[in-house]
Chain A
Amino acid sequence: MIDYHALAPELILAGTVMAVLIVDMLPVRKHWTAVVGLLGLFATVVPILTLGFCESLDFCDYSGSREMFGGSYVIDAFSLALKGLFIGSAFVAVLLSVGYLESNRFWQGEFYFLMLASVLGALVMASSRDLVTMFVGLELVTGPTFLMAGWRKGEARSNEAALKFFIIGVLSAAVLLFGMSLVYGVTGELTFTGIRAGSVGVLDGDLSGLFIIGVLFTILGFAFKVSAVPFHFWTPDTYEGAPTPVTAYLSVISKTAGFVGLLAICYLAFGEVTTLWGTGLWVLAALSMTVGNLIALRQTNVVRLLGYSSIAQGGFILVPFGAAIAADVTGSDLEEAFFATVTYLVIYAFMNLGAFGVVIAVGNRLRSAEIKDWAGLFSYAPGLATMLGLFFFSLAGIPPLAGWFAKFVMFRSVLASGSGWAGALAVVAAVNSVIAFYYYSKVVVSAFMEKVPDGVPVAEIREQRTAPSLQFALVLTTIGVVVIGFYPTLISGLAEAAKTFASGF
């Protein structure tokens, strides 16, 4: 029997996706499609909350995790926490898009249709506990984003961004699938629990080579999705060429979806071979942080800067995975690492969406994303400049903004495991935090301290107002970044609930 309560978030969102297409056909103003999308996202939160607080509700008679379809689809604390994160981020991403699409006269109905379909894929990924469901969810996340990246159809740069993203995206799918097929070949199982049971002692057997290649290819496929160095080269080009709201979507929701897949596959399916993926992700984390930050230093365009910064942030998110490199890693260490990754993902979503919101708002006025044109922003747009400082310092990890807590749990998780290799990774992360602080603060200092460059129509810009939807998105993310920074227990409770997922060790 199908548990409709457990599937309600996905069903409501699927209904919303259809409703957006139908509203697009009706003879009403096109921005109604966004309104329907936002209402649908709001409705999706209701079943997520009732499932999450099932124990204290009268009509809900079932608690704990719910398994469906032979264990392929599971609703537990982890999947609910991540679904909440996806819906919240999607809400902000839609708000970021409304003004941009309206003012540039882009197609709107289809855009929200594709974006919400992609979010539906992210929800499926959070719950999927077998290789095929995970793959279908992942492709549902990425498929629509290829088209969204090329949304400015008449513009060569947007086309180029879409094509590069598409080729790399499909390549990564092929690599991921090849890895999955080898893992299936060795263990004979598709479900994560089955793979875990089947992989006990496989590294000492005849098929160890095949299994190692399978695991590494699977992780490689996800490394493309989360744009870890050296599989990052598509990221800055696609981020710069795509419309900025799409870039925000890619850098937060699509990337988080990749990390969710990586979390589920590493901790559940490959739970018996932690050293194997620990080593691979240790290297990817160190490279992503270092290369991402060093190249970000030289950037003159804010969007490209945020592109490289998101590569480096991806490295920080990978750091807790790297703690699994130690051969004697214990269950509680892995739980701590899992907790750190989920916490970082939640905080990263707030601050990165906020940073892109500021870029969209300022970009609308200045018609430029070059850092040198942003000098003296504070003198004519003090509100936006303050938010810029808030989000950039949060990304840099300055207390009391939310970013510090993400960095804190990240460092705590690697240092807790106490092994030499994990310690080395903590040192790399610490050095990188300093480098990152330099380029984030450079932009903020220039916006606050320097003179306005010639040719910026200051009086004209003062007259302009930020679109209400964008204002709302900025307020939401600002509150998130400040409140989480002062009361980190708010989200540590969420991540703590998600941790039960990794407690099978």
Chain B
Amino acid sequence: MIPLIAQVSADGLQVEPGWYMALAAVLFAIGATGLLLRRNALVMFMSIELMLNAVNLTFVAVDSGLGSLEGQISVLFVMVVAAAEVTVGLAIIVAVFRKRATASVDELSGLKG
């Protein structure tokens, strides 16, 4: 059986929530790959934001399937926390940049794990 992607209803074209969740999983994977492959702290940070937005998409997709609101409220919380983290993260990246004039994490190897 071919899975149903979308159907036309009275409200127009409706995409099945499961596909949004699949898209979110792909976005999450792209973000994770970007985090592993890129070496610029800012780009790594952007990749993490992509992962957080994948989470938001999942919450909203689930809600449209269940017809509830809790997930959408959660999205607001996630967005607020993500915004707070941007301020903290950029402050740290600026501090690093002032010291070294680079945002590449490869240069940061003073401490050996």
Contact = CB atoms under 8 A, between A and B. Distances in A.
Interface string B57-88: 01101100110101101100110010011001
A196 interface: no
Nearest to A161: B111
B44 to A, nearest CB: 6
Contacts of B88: 143, 146-147, 166
Contact of A240 (B61, B71, B100, B111): B111
B30 interface: no
B113 interface: yes
B110 interface: yes
A233 B108 contact: no
B95 A159 contact: yes
In this complex, the interface size class of chain B, counting residues with CB under 8 Å from chain A, is 35 or more
B110 A147 contact: no
B111 A160 contact: yes
Interface stretch (A81-89, A176-184, A345-353, A493-501): A176-184
Contacts of A170: 45, 48, 85, 89
B96 A159 contact: yes
Interface string A167-197: 1001101110110111011001110000000
Nearest to A237: B111
Nearest to A217: B28
A135 interface: yes
Interface stretch (A149-157, A431-439, A473-481): A149-157
A139 B81 contact: yes
B96 A143 contact: no
B40 to A, nearest CB: 11
A181 B74 CA distance: 9
A178 B92 CA distance: 25
B74 A164 contact: no
A146 B93 CA distance: 11
B21 A185 contact: yes
A184 B92 contact: no
Given A157-B111, A181-B62, A190-B74, A174 B99 contact: no
A162 B84 contact: no
* Consensus secondary structure, chain B interface: helix
Given A166-B88, A174-B51, A177-B55, A160 B70 contact: no
A20 interface: no
A180 B113 CA distance: 30
A160 B95 CA distance: 10
B23 interface: no
Nearest to A213: B25
Contacts of A135: 77-78, 81
A167 B52 contact: no
Contact of A167 (B48, B58, B100): B48
A150 B89 CA distance: 11
Contact of A188 (B41, B68, B108): B68
Contacts of A154: 99
A236 B65 CA distance: 44
B48 A174 contact: yes
A45 interface: no
A181 B58 contact: yes
Contacts of A237: 111-113
Q: A154, A170, A173: which has the most chain B beta carbons within 10 Å?
A: A170
Contact of B41 (A132, A143, A163, A234): A163
B54 A136 contact: no
B92 A159 contact: yes
A13 interface: no
B93 to A, nearest CB: 7
Contacts of B105: 163, 167
A234 B113 CA distance: 7
Interface in A20-76: none
Nearest to B48: A170
Contacts of A177: 52, 55, 78
B99 A150 contact: no
Contacts of B35: 167, 171
B55 A178 contact: yes
Nearest to A234: B113
Contacts of B28: 174, 178
A240 B111 CA distance: 8
Contact of A174 (B31, B73, B100): B31
A241 interface: yes
A234 B108 CA distance: 13
11 contacts: A143-B84, A157-B110, A159-B99, A163-B105, A164-B108, A167-B45, A170-B45, A171-B35, A174-B28, A184-B74, A189-B70
Q: 3 closest Cβ contacts across the A-B interface? A: A174-B51, A181-B58, A237-B111
Given A132-B74, A174-B31, A178-B28, 19 more contacts: A135-B81, A136-B81, A143-B81, A146-B88, A156-B110, A159-B92, A159-B99, A160-B110, A160-B111, A163-B41, A163-B92, A170-B89, A173-B52, A173-B81, A178-B58, A181-B58, A184-B59, A237-B112, A240-B111
